[in-house]
Homo-oligomer: A and B are copies of this chain.
Amino acid sequence: MDRLTVLKLGGSIITKKGAAEPTLDRENLGRLAREVGAGYRAGKGPLIIVHGAGSYGHPIVKRYGISKGCSTPEHAFGFAETQKYQNELNCLVVEALLAEGVPAMPTQPSSMAVMETRPWKVKVGGREHEIQIHDLVSMPLQALEGFLRLGMVPVLFGVPAYDRVQGCSILSGDQIAPYLARGLGGRRIVEATDVEGLYTGDPRKDPGAKLIKEASSLEEVFGYLGASSNTDVTGGIRGKVLELFRILGGSGVRAEFISGNVAGNIEAALEGKEGLGTILRL
């Protein structure tokens, strides 16, 4: 499916991310949905949307501690309750998209996802590092392929998912997006967050931080990246980049990081415009 675009809407642009309780950013979501509608109709290619959890996920995941596993009845209850919040957020995102004429099909990834927490070796800066990853081992895509064939826009989302090693892991949208591009032969991922792309430092703290226009290896990106304040249970910006190269390295897929908060960006990206932020050639 060569023309498939996977659009990731970060939790930071659809919810009030810092909020202690699940809080939608209704105004931003409405604007984003309008842009998706206009861009999708102009772009004419198949589209999948994956959204993050923002304040619908991180506070509750931390409260129950389920990102580290599921080994008690309290964890099991927390896993279930967290999932319910994600489904509520997904209904709100889908509702906003339907209101703009997008045939947005809610699709819960944890219904079918199996994960595995395991060590993974990666070479960065001339040294080999062994890190713990939460790997999406399998997620059957037959139904989802059917939705695309029927002309729908599946809307997936970050969720707590079954992990055959530690019981539960967080399956983030940052892992779902490249998994889908790989499984369905998509050539383009657009990651819309609350910053304009990848920077050499934290642009909110360091006035000298520069936007990275383009990069084509993990080594290159990690060489550029400074400390990022944008960390959450799914691993922040380094986690996003790591998952892209781990899952899609060598595939030729293009991942673009753009700001969803700049009006018109998402619409332009879906219409095919490039160079709005950072391009990673995977």
- Nearest 7 interchain pairs by C-beta: A146-B162, A112-B112, A108-B108, A111-B111, A80-B105, A77-B103, A76-B151
Interface contacts beyond A77-B101, A77-B103, A84-B94: sample of 11 additional A-B pairs, CB < 8 Å, sorted by A: A73-B103, A76-B151, A76-B152, A80-B153, A87-B108, A107-B110, A107-B111, A143-B162, A146-B162, A146-B167, A150-B168
Residue from the list B80, B81, B90, B98 in contact with A87, Cβ < 8 A = B90
Q: What is the count of identical protomers in the complex?
A: 2
CB-defined contacts of A91 to chain B, threshold 8 Å: 84, 87-88, 91
Determine if A132 is an interface residue (Cβ-Cβ < 8 Å): no
Residues of chain B within 8 A (CB-CB) of A103 are 73, 76-77, 79-80
A18 within 8 A of B: no
Enumerate chain B residues within 8 angstroms of A231, measured Cβ to Cβ: none
Contact with B along A122-146 (1 / 0, CB 8 A): 0000000000000000101011101
**Interfacial chain B residues near A88, Cβ < 8 Å:** 91
Contact residues, A54-83 vs B (CB, 8 A): 70, 73, 75-77, 79-81, 83
For A, the interface residue count at a CB cutoff of 8 angstroms equals 47
Q: Could you tell me the distance between the alpha carbons of A144 and B112 in the complex, rounded to whole angstroms?
A: 7
A242 to B155, CA, bound (A): 34
A224 interfacial by beta-carbon distance below 8 Å:
no
A48 within 8 A of B: no
30 contacts between A and B (CB under 8 A): A73-B103, A76-B150, A77-B98, A80-B94, A80-B153, A81-B98, A83-B106, A84-B98, A84-B106, A87-B87, A87-B90, A87-B91, A87-B106, A87-B108, A88-B91, A91-B91, A106-B108, A111-B112, A112-B142, A112-B143, A113-B143, A114-B142, A114-B143, A114-B146, A138-B142, A140-B140, A142-B162, A143-B162, A150-B162, A150-B168
CA of A84 to CA of B90, assembled, Å: 9
A162 contact set on B, CB distance < 8 A: 142-143, 146-147, 150
CB distance from A46 to the nearest CB of B (A): 12
The residue that A110 contacts in the complex, of B84, B109, B143, with Cβ under 8 A, is B143
A126 CB to nearest B CB, Å:
39
Hey, which chain B residues are within 8 Å of A168, CB to CB? 150
Cα distance, A83 to B146, chains bound together (Å): 15
Selected contact of A164 from candidates B81, B87, B146, CB within 8 Å: B146
Whether, in the assembled complex, A104 has its beta carbon less than 8 Å from a beta carbon of chain B, the answer is yes
Determine which of B70, B107, B142, B151 lies in contact with A150 in the assembled complex, contact meaning CB atoms within 8 Å.
Answer: B70
